[in-house]
Amino acid sequence: MRRLILVLLALALVAAACGNDDATPNGDGTTTSGARRAVTVDLLAHASFVVPQAALDEFTATTGIAVNVLTGDDAGTVTNQVILDREHPQADVVFGIDNTYLGKALAADVFAVDEHDVTALAPDLVAGLDTERVVPVDYGDVCLNYDIAWFAAEGLEPPDALSDLVDPAYEGLTVVEDPSTSSPGLAFLLATTRATGDWEAYWERLRDNDVLVVSGWEEAYTVEFSGGGGGGARPIVVSYASSPPADVIYSDPPRDAPAIGVVDDGCFRQVEYAGILAGTDDPDAAARVIEFLLSEPFQTEVPLGMFVFPARVDTPLPDVFERFALHASAPVTIDAATIDAERDDLLERWTEIVLS
Amino acid sequence: MTRSSRLALALVPAAFGVVMVAWPLAAIFRRGLAPEGTLTLEPLGAVFASDRTRSLVRFTIGQAVASTLLTLVVGIPAAWALSRTWRGAGLARAIVTVPFVLPTVVVGLAFRHWLDRGTLAIVLAHAVFNVAVVVRVVGAAWAGLDPEVDEAARVLGATPSRAFLTTTLPRLRAAIAGAALVTFMFSFTSFGVITVLGGPRTGTIETEIARVARQLQFDRAAALTLVHLVVVAAVLALAARLGTVRGIDRFDPSPRRGRPVLLAAALTPALVLVVTPLTMLADRVARPHGSWSTAGIASLAADDTALAIRPLDSLFVSLRFALVATAVAGVVGGLAAIAVRDRRRGLGRLLEFLLVVPLGVSAVTIGYGYLVTFDEPPLELRAHWYIVPLAHAAVAVPFVVRATVPALRAVDPALREVAATLGARPLRVWFDVDRPLAARAFAAGVGFAAAISLGEFGATSLLAREGTPSAPFAIGRLLGRPGERNQQAAFALALVLGCVTALVVFVADALGRPRREVRA
């Protein structure tokens, strides 16, 4: 009898696992297409990509093109993926390669050439860019964040410049990400090469001021940062200028004002791009998907979906974004080719200075 | 079973091992060491000769040995306690398996409350994760030991400790060596624990491979993977020497009890180690701001977290993956165990090696290997959801093999001979003699395969996939966004994932319990 119950229990688990087919299409999407849909475009994106189903459905209804989203890990992994799979790309369109990785992808020649209409996008995002290969979709600033309550309780002024971090008064307060394993970590390192007079000397002083280096944003923000909910001890962290609106929207209990402040100095402007992958069997349909990513219905959803700014200039921003997200006044911007040329030496030198 | 029929059985696991392990590894080696078609050995030389590699190897092996020793010290007494029959033993056995599936960031958070980053935190965390391995492998073997041997020793005047050392321990040696091997491999290739609990200067070969592969330096990644393989081969050779004692006992599934005081004493260290992070997790879910709240659990069904779908949906995806992964690992691992039972050299050794490699080799390398291997027909697996459970199975198979082989080897050959003399055909002998005797150990392995899949294996994070993410990935994405509610949902999902795992393991164990008494 007892065995029977166990067997039934096991079967129930099986049923639960399999009965979910309709709610979560996890199988091979191509089998369901064909009859109903004329074309399916595979869109490879990083794990933070969010697109409202309604916007996608609308796009499919008007164009007859179904979009099948393939979710990868972070921007770095997605870049490696398209480079490694260059001969047999898994997707038709890639979204989410940022300016710290774009140089690598361009050098590997993974993109198909096409005319893209970029007239509606912010001119400074397009300037100098090979827009026949990639288009900017969104951007955001990597900046220092601080825990407002911590500084109030300690009676210490929150930092307002990169130079504060090497001040002895701020000793042991900062946590940063390792630039060789983390995207925001690399962005911050790049910012210091332009926003401080001598970046090597700056990092030496930062190291002597007991900066903590961890491997990724999750370890930094949710474990070590005092304002990240994980009970960490350090009140300054390298994160995003859009952390405050996220902090408000996802607060519990609800708050009207963020508990996180952003330092408007030494910010690095991260731009995320989309492009058609060379080898797609339907470049026209792929081009329509790029158009969709730049269209108003998608761009309007960008701020609250991915917590970044839309590349399209006339896009209205949601109130919470308007009020709490920092739009860095003078962010560091470096073009992709320069980053690609500098990256390896920069990482090696940084590792020597900070980790050895 | 005849020699040739066992060889035929070996074909399935061999094919699986070649496709899921050897081929992807070879693809990365080719890309890294022979990018233009001709072998270049400079990167190998450079990596082997560098001081950094030497210090990485030293630290990697050192922390893995320390983790293995601590896990054995804590796990072996617990394995004994859980091999006895008492009310609640099944539940306790299921509970010690739970940490195994918890995302490392979650366990890392728990540890950071009491410990600074560093080697001590790493070793302790490895023990938390791996105590389940020892309890399951050694416990299953212990439950099958014939108590009459001990009793005979005692009757002949041996003290309890002497009886243990001279009769029990030798018979457990193969199981302990197997558990130690698996623990060592898991600690050796550990990635998440090192990144969460290691200091900035703490690196292992695996974290270094991840770092250089991220920069697309596959020459260095391949060279470091070779370093991995050399260590794995050496450890396997050592484990084979330790584990070659022939089973001398019969399996006796009759229940045996232990004195409650002894049981409690044996079990306490393991339970403290395992339950502490679980308590922290449960507390974080139930009292998110220091006061009781249902917000954490409610967030599982909310669709307004950063995940944009209900976190709970990811659990069903995980269960489906686990179901397929467990079935594949059970079939492949079971066949492999039967095939290598009597083969200690030649092809059998090769097959054993091939099937243990995924435990000891870089998940990052295998993951990139999948990307470049399964990218065109007829094996364009990367586009299909079942690449994920297949990858889980590749990691779980060695565990099924390691758990089952000692039990099969412990079956008294005389039993088989008796059955054969009585006219049973080889298949019948296997079905009536080997199968029931090894069922418990096999179930221990299969239950663990489910746990491995539910906890997700690192290589799959390098593959892009469509549809709902599995639970570990959902937890990762939730923790990747600022905001309290995302974190609440992440912790609640981790807790539920742990509970589901305990249930699955409990059911697998119960199904593996022998149906009828088998006596010689």
State the greatest distance between any 2 C-alpha atoms of chain B, in Å, as a whole number. Answer: 71
Parallel/antiparallel/unpaired status of strands A309-310 and A134-147: antiparallel
B280 closest CA partner among B138, B42, B468, B114: B114
Token reading at A130: 């090979």
Q: Do A63 and A165 have their domain in common?
A: no
Q: Which of A18, A67, A73 to mutate to test the interface with B (most CBs of B within 10 A)?
A: A73
Instruction: Please name the residues in contact with B63: beta carbons below 8 A apart, sequence gap of 6 or more.
Output: B119, B122, B123, B126, B187, B204
Q: How confident is the model at residue A1 (pLDDT cuts 50, 70, 90)?
A: very low
pLDDT for residue B270: 92
Contact B200 A212 (CB under 8 A): yes
B496 touching A, CB under 8 A? no
Task: Tell me the pLDDT of chain A averaged across its residues.
Answer: 88
pLDDT digits (tens, 9 = 90+) for B54-89: 889 999 999 999 999 999 999 999 999 988 888 888
- Judge whether A24 lies within some domain: no
Q: Is B241 on the interface with A (CB under 8 A)?
A: no
Only one residue has tokens 């001040």, namely: A167
Distance CA B86, CA B259 (A): 10
Going by pLDDT thresholds of 50, 70 and 90, the confidence category of residue B430 is confident
Contact check, Cβ <8 Å, A47/B476: yes
Residue A97, pLDDT > 90, answer yes
Sign of the torsion angle spanned by Cα atoms A243, A249, A253, A258: positive
Whole-angstrom distance, CA of residue B334 vs CA of residue A118: 59
Domain range for A239: 141-269+327-355
Residue B248, phi then psi, degrees to nearest 5: -115, 0
Measure in Å the smallest separation between the Cα of A113 and chain B Cα atoms: 23
State what percent of residues in chain A have pLDDT above 90. 74
* ipTM passes above 0.90: no
Up-side HSE of residue B143: CA atoms within 13 Å toward CB? 29
The candidate with the shortest Cα–Cα distance to A91, out of A77, A111, A106, is A111
Alpha-carbon B429 to chain mean position? 30
Task: Say if residues A155 and A188 touch (Cβ distance below 8 Å).
Answer: no
Q: What size, in residues, is chain A?
A: 356
Q: Using a CB-CB distance cutoff of 8 angstroms, which residues of chain B are in contact with residue A94? A: none
Count of CB pairs separated by less than 8 Å, A with B: 192
How many whole angstroms separate alpha carbon B135 and alpha carbon B71? 10
Task: Count Cβ atoms below 10 Å from residue A47 Cβ, excluding itself.
Answer: 20
- What's the mean pLDDT in B453-470? 83
Q: Residue B237: its pLDDT value, please? A: 81
Pairing label, strands A268-276, A212-214:
unpaired
Q: Are A312 and A331 contained in the same domain? A: no
- Quote the pLDDT of residue A316: 94
Closest CA to B206 of B389, B381, B365, B87: B365
Q: Is residue A17 part of a domain?
A: no
User: Are residues A193 and A149 part of one domain?
Assistant: yes
Most confident of A8-12, A92-96, B373-377, B498-502: A92-96
| pLDDT for res A2 | 52
Is A29 among the domain residues? no
> Looking at residue B452, what is its pLDDT?
86
Same domain, A229 and A172: yes
Q: How many angstroms separate the Cα of A218 from the Cα of each of A154, A237, B196? A: 25, 11, 9
Work out the number of other CB atoms within 10 angstroms of the CB of residue B246.
10
Give chain A's domain count. 2
| Helices B218-242 + B205-214 axis angle, to 10 | 160
Contacts of B488 in chain A (CB under 8 A): 252
Nearest Cα to A68, choosing from A106, A98, A25? Answer: A25
pLDDT above 80 for A217: yes
For the CA atoms of B168, B171, B177, B180, the dihedral, rounded to the nearest 10 degrees, stands at: -30
Q: Which residues of B touch A355 (CB under 8 A)?
A: 200-201
The pLDDT score that the predictor gives to residue A299 is 96
Instruction: Provide mean pLDDT across the span A200-209.
Output: 96
Q: What is the mean pLDDT of residues B471-488?
A: 87
Nearest CA in chain B to A223: B109
Query: Do A14 and B467 make contact, defined as CB atoms within 8 angstroms?
Result: no
Assess whether A205 and A61 both reside in one domain. Answer: no
A4 burial via Cβ count (<10 Å: 0-12, 13-18, 19+)? exposed
Tens-digit pLDDT profile for residues B196-226: 888 777 889 999 998 888 888 888 899 999 8
3-state secondary structure of B218: helix
Count of H-run helices and E-run strands, chain B: 24, 1
Task: Transcribe A181-236 into DSSP letters.
Answer: T-HHHHHHHHHHHHHSS-HHHHHHHHHHTT-EEESSHHIIIIIIBTTSSS--SBSE
Contact B306 A250 (CB under 8 A): yes
Q: What is the pLDDT of residues B308-329, one digit of tens each?
A: 788 999 999 999 999 999 999 9
- For residue A134, the domain's CATH number is 3.40.190.10
The torsion region of residue B308 among left (phi > 0), alpha (psi -120 to 50) and beta comes to left
DSSP 3-state of B460: helix
pLDDT at B255 over 90: no
How is chain A split among helix, strand and coil, in percent rounded to 5?
40, 20, 40
> Are B480 and A218 a contacting pair at CB < 8 A?
yes
Omega within 30 of 0 (cis) for the link into B378: yes
For chain B, say whether A47 makes contact (Cβ under 8 Å). Answer: yes
Mean pLDDT value across residues B102-111: 74
Domain shared by A76 and A87, yes or no: yes
Q: What is the mean pLDDT of residues B415-427?
A: 83
Strands A65-71, A39-45: parallel, antiparallel or unpaired by DSSP?
parallel
What helix, strand, coil percent values describe chain B, rounded to 5?
75, 0, 25
d(CA B392, CA A245): 38
Residue type, B28: I
pLDDT of the residue at A244: 93
Same domain? For A99 and A120 the reply is yes
For chain B, the C-alpha Rg in angstroms (whole number) is 23
Average pLDDT for B155-160: 84
pLDDT digits over A303-346, tens only? 999 999 999 998 999 999 999 999 999 999 998 999 999 998 99
Taking a contact as any Cβ pair under 8 Å apart, which residues of chain B between 345 and 374 contact chain A?
368, 371-372
Report residue B297 as tokens: 């659990």
Angle between helices B387-410 and B435-455 (to 10 degrees): 150
Half-sphere CA count of B228, side-chain side, radius 13 A: 31
Q: Residue B375 and residue A71: Cβ atoms within 8 Å?
A: no
Give per-residue burial for B123-143: e unless 16+ CB within 10 Å, then b: bbbbbbbbbbbbbbbbbbbbb
Determine the pLDDT at residue A33. 39
Contact across the interface for B214 and A80, Cβ inside 8 Å:
yes
- Across the interface, which of B323, B382, B477 has its CB nearest the CB of A17? B323
Q: Which residue in B283, B310, B320, B505 has the most chain A C-beta atoms within 10 A of its own C-beta, making it the best mutation to test that interface?
A: B320
What is the rounded distance in angstroms from the CA atom of residue A272 to the CA atom of residue A95?
A: 7
Residue B133 and residue B448 in contact, taking contact as beta carbons nearer than 8 Å? yes
**Least confident residue range of A222-226, A250-254, B328-332, B495-499:** A250-254
Residues A319 and A341 in one domain: no
- Give the distance, in angstroms, between the CA of residue A222 and the centroid of all CA atoms in the same chain: 17
Instruction: Band the pLDDT of A12: cuts 50, 70, 90.
Output: low
User: End-to-end CA distance of chain A, in Å?
Assistant: 64
Q: What is the pLDDT of residue B281?
A: 85
**Residue among B86, B92, B76, B83 nearest B146 (CA):** B83
Task: Please compute the mean of the pLDDT values over residues B291-296 and round it to a whole number.
Answer: 83
Give the pLDDT of residue B205.
92
pLDDT, residue B47, reads 82
Task: Output the 3-class SS for A147-195.
Answer: EHHHHHHHCCCCCCCHHHHHCHHHCCCEEEECCCCCHHHHHHHHHHHHH
Q: Which residue has the tokens 């020597």?
A: A352
DSSP A353: I
Distance CA(B514)–CA(A159), nearest Å, equals 67
pLDDT of residue A170: 97
How sure is the predictor about A252, in pLDDT bands with cuts at 50, 70 and 90? confident
Provide the shortest C-alpha distance from residue B213 to chain A (in Å).
9
A20, B317: Cβ pair inside 8 Å? Answer: yes
- Whether residues A317 and A332 share a domain: the answer is no
Q: What is the per-residue pLDDT for B166?
A: 83
If one counts every other C-beta atom within 10 angstroms of the C-beta of residue B289, the result is: 12
CA–CA distances in Å: residue A73 to residues A153, A333, B315, B468: 38, 25, 19, 14
Q: Is B118 in CB contact (< 8 Å) with chain A?
A: no
Whether B195 and A10 lie within 8 Å, measured CB to CB: no
Cβ contact A28–B383 (<8 Å): yes
The yes-or-no verdict on residue B513 having pLDDT over 70 is no
Reduce the DSSP state of residue A273 to 3 states and report it. strand
Strand partners, A240: A142
d(CA B279, CA B287): 11
- The mean predicted confidence, pLDDT, of chain B is 83
- Per-residue pLDDT, B91: 86
pLDDT at B251: 44
Pick A116 or B307 by higher pLDDT: A116
To the nearest whole Å, the CA of B371 is away from the closest chain A CA by 7
Angle among Cα A166, A168, A174 to the nearest 5 degrees reads 55
- Average pLDDT over every residue of B36-47: 80
Say yes or no: A201 and A280 in one domain. no
Least confident of A294-298, B414-418, B449-453: B414-418
**Is residue B249 scored above 50 in pLDDT?**
no
Alpha carbons B464 and A42: distance in angstroms, whole number: 11
* A232 shares its domain with A340: yes
Chain B residues with CB inside 8 Å of A15's CB? none
Both A191 and A338 in a single domain?
A: yes
Q: Å from B349 to nearest chain A CA?
A: 34
Per-residue tokens: B211 = 């770092």
pTM reported for the whole predicted model? 0.86
- Chain A residues close to B383, C-beta within 8 Å: 28, 90
Asked if B480 and A48 come within 8 Å (Cβ–Cβ), the reply is yes
Contact (CB<8Å) B511/A29:
no
Phi, psi of A255 (to 5 degrees): -125, 150
State how far the Cα of B186 lies from the Cα of B197, in Å rounded to an integer: 16
Tell whether A13 is within 8 A of chain B (Cβ).
Answer: yes
Give the amino acid at A183.
Answer: S
| CB proximity B489 to A under 8 Å | no
Q: H or E element: which one contains A140? A: strand A134-147
CA dist B133 and B179 (Å) reads: 6
CATH class of B3-29+38-298+305-512: mainly alpha
Domain boundaries, chain B: 3-29+38-298+305-512
The three-class DSSP label of residue A143 is strand
* Residue A54 belongs to a domain: yes
Which residue has better confidence, B141 or A34? B141
| Residues whose CB is less than 8 angstroms from the CB of residue B188 and which lie 6 or more positions away in sequence, other chains included | B60, B61, B64, B204, B206, B228, B231, B232, B235, B360
Rounded mean pLDDT, A240-250: 92
CA distances, B180 to each of B127, B134, B135, B442 (Å): 11, 7, 11, 18
CB B39: neighbour CB atoms within 10 A? 11
